[in-house]
Amino acid sequence: KVHLRGAGKHDDNGQTDCPPTLRVPERGRQLANLASAVMGNNLVTAALGIVFWMLAARGLVPSEVGQLGAITSAMLLLGSLGAMGLGPLMISELPLLKPSHQRALFSVSIMAAGVVGMALGLVFGVVAGPLGRTWEPISAFTPAWLWLGVGSALTALFQVIDQAMLVVGNPQ
């Protein structure tokens, strides 16, 4: 419920003596703080991404930048798939569980996301590596192939952790 302070105080002409001010309940303040934290995180991530791609564009030939962009996009997609929707599950279920069960759900979810993300990254390298020149660097059993698996696993794992922290940072 939002309340307006100052409304209802009228002088003889029916005018209010001060404009109404908005009083935000505690839950709204928590939500605003949480939204600000998420927005700040996105801004920092975007700024670091811009700096990275600017440096990559200056230091690499255009075909390498394109290849790097394609591999990075694949890694992010595989990581998102590896999260398997566990983040929204954590948001909906963690507040309903006892603390011991919360820890268990959290642990199992991040381990599952990491393992599935790693598997997707490694399988993608095996399948896509031989398909064309773009995917050649991530061919199976190369260091880049392992890094694709690790990057996909970390992307999945941190997506789940990030969404779980929304609940932890905002106790009911």
User: How high is the pLDDT of residue 8?
Assistant: 53
DSSP 170: S
The span from the CA of 159 to the CA of 42, in Å, is: 13
- For the cut 80, the answer to whether the pLDDT of residue 4 exceeds it is no
Q: Of 74, 169, 164, 66, whose CA–CA distance to 111 is shortest?
A: 164
More reliable by pLDDT, 33 or 23: 33
Chain segment 102-137, per-residue pLDDT in tens: 999 999 999 999 999 999 999 999 999 888 888 999
4: β partners: 22
Angle CA(70)–CA(76)–CA(80) in degrees, nearest 5? 145
* Section 21-43 average pLDDT: 76
The span from the CA of 63 to the CA of 69, in Å, is: 10
- For the cut 80, the answer to whether the pLDDT of residue 29 exceeds it is no
